[in-house]
Structure 1
């Protein structure tokens, strides 16, 4: 007997759900009150069905995503003393780290770099350097480790401009790219969104301003005689991941779609997949009840890897309070370890593919960010928008909306609810970064911690 002919299609479509809600609430417009507007500027439905996918460019959305599973667990180390840092780095590599992020001092000589990288093979272990002098660092690195490096530079000239008020010279990045010519797995061009995220930007703004950042940098580097096809293979996109779980998954997926759309404007015959570094957000971290930052960083890390991060940096839960301890650094590393060993998220590529809700969010973010990016370009680009204050004005509106949402009842765990103020005696607060006035470096919880 062929039972397939006797089966009924029990799938519920969106109109069925609408009718049911209206009947049960005895209101022909009841479903309209269940929708909500997001800070991104679009409306979310309370319920999604397969019907939502029929209007989406699903092939475009999904073909842009990662085709291979897994990510690099890359903890960050702020380098002060080279010998002490080396001991911490080797301990991290023995305790679950796959790669390293090193925030370097303003200047480092050959002896210091030798001590820092002792017993760490850059041809085997990817190392990502954060420095304001990338060309000088690579010149020194060539004398210390004259072989094919893996990793890259997390040095973004636009972020440096926001921090210091000084326009970084694109020639530094161009020179660094030429110095790494024999290291094809070492990326020298970093395009990041952290300064926008930490000022309070929406996800749409983050993506749009990152695209503007990329365009400005590519314009400068092609003017420095570097061809676009060389730039794309040397580029790394670096983003912060916040606490809005599904939105952040969609943000990383949208970033990949936007990369291919923008690269299409450069008329490249073949465009490699984007290489994405994600880090957990400090914008949402709290000094009140700091252990709750563990909840935030775990959610953010999970969103990052489901969204398709190639490299993940999880900040220690006490990073906004003091210099992280060995314990907090170990816990941060173990977030990635657990997501692999317990959740098996390294066994599947793009696990959210086909989700009615996330695919819809991805598409909405793509279109919203692209429209805003075109507006940025009409303003003259990101650097012009930063210098004129236009970008700061856009982000300020988003920041005020975030603060107001908390005042209206949005819960910040450990700050506005479930709070416990631990004694602070003996803690040494980190020094706040200097503010240039271009964009502020903020934490949302700071408005409600006193």
Structure 2
């Protein structure tokens, strides 16, 4: 019998990896694409593939063990999260959100969720959502000692907290009830633009925290909602830095109300958005724990103060068009939340942009997490991202970028002052402008919206969802510009019986024009514009008023000018060309990286489709 070696050398049969050898191989690929030449120095190869995040964090082409060491699981700075192991299965809290104003419908949905995989409840309360007075009815049958409840009541937080704590006391569950009262006056200020100093609101939030700490040991009082910054178009560091600043403001208020630093830290929970950029989302959650540990250490905490994090799949990334693709987006985001070490995760139903989700959508949202937890065993691994040189470096760089933003807010007088001065809004607006431009140019593609749209889709019908209060930071969605164009097309079709149309005039054989014809069709359809394909002489019978030439550069040189002239003689008000060349008679061009939103706006205008 062969005796196995004491140490298994997995790469023993392979030659050692060398960075220059990797650069040579990459250079060979880049030469084929034209991004490099034979004269490109090897040391410049990695720079050709590098990029920057919206926070200015460099994203390199290659990472090695020298880039970032890992911390130890469960110890400061808590990059490597360790979850408590309950009944043999480690996992996060599966938290479902409910906003239906009908208490009977909410109760039915809450019980269905808890019976089928959800472990806690997130209730939106208020005038437009579930009435505060209906809280006992909505929670009838819910075992408050087993299922944590998180409240989200905005301006009615104090009233909702009183109603919930009264319900807990009435049922005798003071020692066992868990959850969060959802007090977040600074987040409410950011969302609604409420004027004036928040001192009174902070004092009321601190009083709730003291009440929880003294009489309801399983309850927290404070939520630091970073999603308001994400929903305004902010970057990861924008969200993290602002969340840290708001958290510090609450920490000051809670300790000022008589809580110790450790007690105050125990009353705060962070809520962050996670999206389909899985590595950035993983790094964001890990970076928050790094930031908050530093705050806790500076505040004199005894145990380092690991942050409790509630991750919510991004509202900004969700689309109304082709909403089924949201299933893929939220699955990737939920995976990132689990890998990043979130303590609680909310997966938004795929139809969230259409209104109140139905039972099927809520079930799929629950089962997404169940699959990750029970079938993929994702939570049984301590920090799956730990040891990934890319994830470690990205976490560290993001933490530094967020800390710089946090300290800028503190120098400006704190979070409330930074909101009042416009410092926060201006930074978010600048980030959103860069992201919006990338989306318009389809550098950040949205499947089913800016890429591969389905003009014949029938959207699911849903009851209207209650509108959330606004007036403060803007609320954006990544798909909004393309979806607005589609809305204009739909209105035109409803009024006239036909969609706006562009004729794709193809030159040469199919093999020559197919690639650019497909590209042009995909682009125009992203604006709700129907396309018809044919030879230039077929334009007159197409019913279109705008044409787009599609072929190869070689045929453009030979035929584009004559084809454009023929199209205009046949009545075309504008002739586009799929490609970058300049030819007589061609008015404009569409190409990879062009501003697709601008091109579609222009085309709809030329076709008489007004706003």
Same fold, judged at TM 0.5 (above) = yes
TM-superposition CA deviations, 1:352-400 (whole Å, max 9, x none):
1100110110011111111121111111112111111111111111101
Instruction: Write the deviation string for residues 118-167 of structure 1: whole angstroms up to 9, x where unpaired.
Output: 12111111111112333333322333221231111233211211233224
Cα distance in 2 between the residues matched to 1:232 and 1:61 = 15
Change (3 A) 1:413 1:176: same
Answer yes or no: is the 8 Å Cα contact 1:238–1:278 preserved in 2.
yes
Conserved 8 A contact 1:134-1:176: no
Q: In the alignment, which residue of structure 1 is the partner of 2:411?
A: 378
The answer to which of 125-134 and 439-448 deviates more is: 125-134
In 2, the alpha carbon distance for the partners of 1:229 and 1:443 equals 38
Counterparts of residues 146-225 of structure 1 (less than 5 Å): 146=169, 147-148=173-174, 149-166=177-194, 167=198, 169-180=201-212, 181-225=214-258
Task: Using the TM superposition, give the Cα deviation of residue 430 of structure 1 relative to its aligned residue in structure 2, in angstroms.
Answer: 4.0
Query: How far apart, in 2, do the equivalents of 1:182 and 1:428 lie?
Result: 40
Among 106, 113, 120, the alignment partner of 1:99 is 120
Shift, 1:291, TM fit: 1.0
Which of these two proteins has the greater Rg computed from alpha carbons?
2
Query: Pairwise CA RMSD of aligned residues?
Result: 2.6
In structure 2, relative to structure 1, the CA distance for the partners of 1:5 and 1:325 (3 Å cut) is closer
Instruction: Report what 2:157 is aligned to.
Output: 134
The answer for unaligned runs of 5 or more in structure 1 is: none
* d(CA) in 2 for partners of 1:119, 1:5: 55
1:42-441 correspondence runs (5 A): 42-53=57-68, 56=69, 58=71, 63-68=78-83, 69-106=90-127, 112-132=134-154, 133-146=156-169, 147-148=173-174, 149-166=177-194, 167=198, 169-180=201-212, 181-410=214-443, 411-421=445-455, 422-423=457-458, 427-430=462-465, 432-436=467-471, 438-441=472-475
The answer as to 2:32 corresponding to 1:32 is no
Does the aligned pair in 2 maintain the 1:13–1:49 contact within 8 Å?
A: no
Change in CA separation of 1:329 and 1:46 when aligned onto 2, cut-off 3 Å: same
3-state DSSP class of the match of 1:324? coil
Give, in angstroms, the shift of residue 34 of structure 1. Answer: 1.4
Question: Using the alignment, how far apart are the partners of 1:81 and 1:409 within structure 2?
Answer: 41
1:162-212 deviation digits (Å, cap 9, x = unpaired): 233224711221222233223222111111201100001111111111111
In the alignment, the residues of structure 2 paired with residue 39 and residue 129 of structure 1 have an alpha-carbon distance, to the nearest angstrom, of 32
Q: Please tell me whether the aligned partners of residues 71 and 310 of structure 1 are also in contact (alpha carbons under 8 angstroms).
A: yes
Residue 449 of structure 2 aligns to a residue in which SS? coil
Is the 8 Å Cα contact of residues 14 and 49 (structure 1) preserved in structure 2? no
1:409-448 deviation line (CA, Å, top 9, x unaligned): 2211111112124335955554654431x31011110111
The CA distance in 2 between the partners of 1:135 and 1:178, in whole Å, is 14
| CA–CA separation in structure 2 for the residues paired with 1:402 and 1:204 | 14
The residue that corresponds to 1:18 in the other structure is 23
Find the aligned partners of 1:178 and 1:359 in 2 and give their Cα distance.
37
What's 2:609 paired with? none
Distance across 2 between alignment mates of 1:287 and 1:368? 33
Indicate the SS of the match to 2:66.
helix
Deviation for aligned residue 1:269: 2.2
Q: Is the 8 A contact 2:63 2:389 kept in 1?
A: yes
Structure 2 residue corresponding to 1:41, chosen from 37, 51, 56: 56
Distance of 2:468 and 2:101 partners within structure 1: 16
Aligned residue pairs, count: 446
Distance 2:312 2:8 in 1: 51
Question: Normalising by structure 1, what TM-score?
Answer: 0.92
Q: Deviations over 1:39-71 (max 9, x none)?
A: 120221112222323xx4755887432122410
Task: Give me the whole-angstrom Cα distance separating, in 2, the residues matched to 1:33 and 1:8.
Answer: 32
Flag the 1:5–1:330 CA change in 2: closer, same or farther, 3 A: closer
Q: Is the 8 A contact 1:385 1:391 kept in 2?
A: yes
> Which sections of structure 2, spanning at least 5 residues, go unmatched?
32-37, 84-89, 486-611
- Indicate how the Cα distance of structure 1 residues 278 and 9 shifts in structure 2: closer, same or farther if over 3 A, else same: same
Tell me: CA distance 1:13–1:206, structure 2 relative to 1, closer, same or farther (3 Å).
Answer: farther
Specify whether residues 362 and 102 from structure 1 end up closer, same or farther in structure 2 by C-alpha distance, changes over 3 A only. Answer: same
What is residue 448 of structure 1 aligned with on the other side?
Answer: 482
Query: How far apart are residue 97 of structure 1 and its match?
Result: 0.7
Structure 2 SS opposite 1:239? strand
Does the 8 Å CA contact 2:222/2:269 hold for their aligned counterparts?
A: yes
Asked which structure has the greater RCO (Cα within 8 Å, sep 6+), the reply is: 1
1:36–1:43 Cα contact (<8 Å) kept = yes
8 Å contact kept, 1:22–1:31:
no
How far apart, CA to CA, are the structure 1 residues paired with 2:311 and 2:395?
17
Mapped to 2, the partners of 1:273 and 1:387 lie a distance apart of: 30
Report how far residue 2 of structure 1 moved: 11
